[in-house]
Amino acid sequence: MVGCGFGGLFAARALERTCADVLVIDRNNYHLFQPLLYQVACAALAPADIAQPIRTILRYQRNARVMLAEVERVALAERCVYAGGSRVPYDYLLLAPGAVDNYFGHEEWRRFAPGMKEVEEATLIRSRMLRSFEAAEIEGDAAERAAHLTFIIVGAGPTGVELAGAIKELAVDVVARDFSAIDTRTARVILIEAGERVLPALHRDSSARALAQLRTLGVEVRLGAPVTQVFADGVEVGGERLRSHNLIWTAGVRAAPLTATLAVPLGPGGRVRVAADCSIPGHPEAFVIGDAACLVDAASGRAVPGVSQGAVQMGRYVAHVIDAQLRGVPSARARAFHYRDLGSMATVGKSRAVVELGGLRFGGLLAWLAWMALHISVLIGFRNRLAVLSSWIYSYVFFRRGSRLITGLAPAPAREPIAPATAAPEQLRAGPAAAAPAAAAEAPAAQAPARPERRA
């Protein structure tokens, strides 16, 4: 099994009481609960709260082994994968490498607008945001201060919507009392979407409800506005340039680059076109699931969405097929995979969310509580559930977030000397230039180092 996301993990667990010898290969030593990764970026949770070591998860599964390595390529004809300099043969292969952010042919934008797929990206975004508040506190130029207090999210899917609401709450409710020279409540959070509505995968009623909640919170939403250029200090939208030192990309995903090594036909977004049983055509022993698979549900005629519940269902289905094959029951493949839509939900902020369960659609406090309960219940590990629940309760009651750590080597930008501690409050708000006439020479702001793209 290549990849221990939702699909790979649940497939491995489903094979526990079988005669299969399971080898899980992943470049990370942990399983990451990606739906809550945005809360790490917004300082609401720590990375360890939403991650669990793979070896800990599978420690009691006697037929499972773990290999920490990056898979460079898959040789279907040889029935082996090449990982960490080793050749690893297989009888059955399950590929669940996940997805990477899609910059639609503009990979150079990644260094300015990181995505939200990895822990490292989330902590980078967190540090950039917190550094921006610090830089704005000592910035004398009004335009530059405004750029530090402007946060732009590109893409209004679930991650973008949830991130926009969380950043606005961070600025308004959490850090507002921590700074004296700036009013963080005036921070601009701009959510940009090329389509006509937010949360396009949900019903129009849910999209409209989420849009209203975002605007009530103070988030600026721009619809039908594709980004045409990304710069180090902003974006260009419809001929207008918006300045910001905090750009975040949540505008879609594509399959992990590993799929390109298979030498098989690929579908939209680099996904592998698989058969009804999730196998690669011509290779009944090799399966692809999750974000890397392009599969049309035979019953509904619609493509299986790249969401966690789809990956979980595909993982369990493939595990059942492999187990049946090992037991000599080949007829298991005759029953094609069928995706069951268990509903969709997204949170916009504290006491704000939208939920769809079958034909039932609702929002507000009840939807927010349902969203919290579901995410707590599906987290891996009791310790993680307890940590997340306690953090949420603490944040709800005290309007505080306990993970506001600036990490990394980049120093906080400083263009002018900090005003003396004896300066009057009105001098501080006017900027260091008003408090200290002798300004120092301008120093260029240090930029956070770009993080190279990693392959599954």
d(CA 206, CA 239): 30
Q: What angle do CA 305, 23, 95 make, to 5 degrees?
A: 25
Sole residue written with tokens 């009105």: 426
DSSP label at 105?
A: T
Pull the structure tokens for residue 255. 């399959």
CB 149 within 8 A of CB 143: no
Note whether 237 and 227 are within 8 A (CB): yes
| Neighbour tally for 377: CB within 10 Å | 8
The two tokens of residue 172 are 């308004």
Amino acid making up residue 456: A
Report whether 74 contacts 262 (CB < 8 A). Answer: yes
- HEC string of 203-267? CHHHHHHHHHHHHHHCCEEEECCCEEEEECCEEEECCEEEECCEEEECCCEEECHHHHHHCCCEC
CB atoms within 10 A of CB 388: 22
Asked if 264 contacts 272 with a C-beta cutoff of 8 angstroms, the reply is: yes
Measured N-to-C along each axis, helices 308-326 and 6-14 cross at an angle, to the nearest 10 degrees, of 30
Number of C-beta neighbours around residue 326 at 10 A: 14
Residue type, 283: H
What phi, psi does 255 have (nearest 5°)?
-60, 150
Q: Is 285 a catalytic residue?
A: no
Mapping DSSP onto H, E and C, the string for 351-365 reads: CEEEEEECCEEEECH
Percent composition of the chain: helix, strand, coil (DSSP 3-state, to 5) = 35, 20, 40
Round to whole Å and give the CA distance between 358 and 341.
Answer: 8
CA–CA–CA angle 242, 246, 248 (5° rounding): 95
Nearest to 257 by CA among 106, 51, 95, 108: 95
139, 144, 162, 416: the active-site residue = 162
Return the active site residues: 162
